[in-house]
Amino acid sequence: MKSLKSSHTKTLFWALFLSIGFVFGILGIIFGATKGITLLLVAGIVMTVLGFYGAPLVWIKYGEQGSYLAVLDCIVNDNLLSINSIASSIGKQPKAVLGIVNQLIAKRYLKGYFVENGELKPIQNEQEDVVITHKCPYCGATLSLDKEISSCEYCGAKLKVRAKK
């Protein structure tokens, strides 16, 4: 959630910068052209173009991230795991919330969950016990080793097991 909030703040900064830059760009064009200051004219043109085309896109991204934060807040802080309950909590359609949840998972802002039948379910890592069969180098008996260090149950020799990667 921290990384999304940080990204949201940066997006706000750039949206404001481009919006204000658009206005100052127009002023730069006017004063640069009337006073014959080429550098101010060029800077004004650049800022106007960046502001005109960039500001709306960045504002859209800012709004999108706001929706992400609202859904993520419902999941993390309010512990709402039903798509319908999240949708009613933030005033959006369930289909839109499902899309946002899928985006949160895809962008790795929401980790450890998957969606199944309109419900968020935690991923449970079930670790299976690894059993290695091996021959004892001392007496030749077949052994089942399931620990890092084990011993031969026939001759008592200490054996070290290394997991293969």
Q: Please tell me the least confidently modeled range out of 8-12, 27-31, 84-88.
A: 84-88
Tokens of 140: 């030749």
Report whether 73 contacts 29 (CB < 8 A): no
The neighbouring-strand residues paired with 143 are 134
Report whether 18 contacts 52 (CB < 8 A): no
Q: Please tell me the least confidently modeled range out of 41-45, 86-90, 132-136.
A: 132-136
Tokens of 56: 């709306």
For 74-114, what is each residue's pLDDT tens digit? 988 888 889 999 999 999 999 999 999 999 988 888 888 88
Q: What percent of the chain has pLDDT over 90?
A: 52
Q: Tell me, what's the pLDDT at 152?
A: 79
Q: Tell me, what's the pLDDT at 155?
A: 85
CATH top-level class of 2-122: mainly alpha
pTM of the model: 0.66
Q: How many CB atoms neighbour CB 148 within 10 A?
A: 9
Tokens of 92: 């959006």
Q: Tell me, what's the pLDDT at 165?
A: 45
How far apart, in Å, are the Cα atoms of 75 and each of 62, 93, 106, 148? Answer: 20, 16, 16, 39
pLDDT (average), residues 21-39: 96
Tokens of 134: 């091996």
Q: How many CB atoms neighbour CB 18 within 10 A?
A: 21
Q: Tell me, what's the pLDDT at 149?
A: 55
For 47-64, what is each residue's pLDDT tens digit? 999 999 999 999 999 999
Domain ranges of the chain: 2-122, 127-165
d(CA 56, CA 152): 71
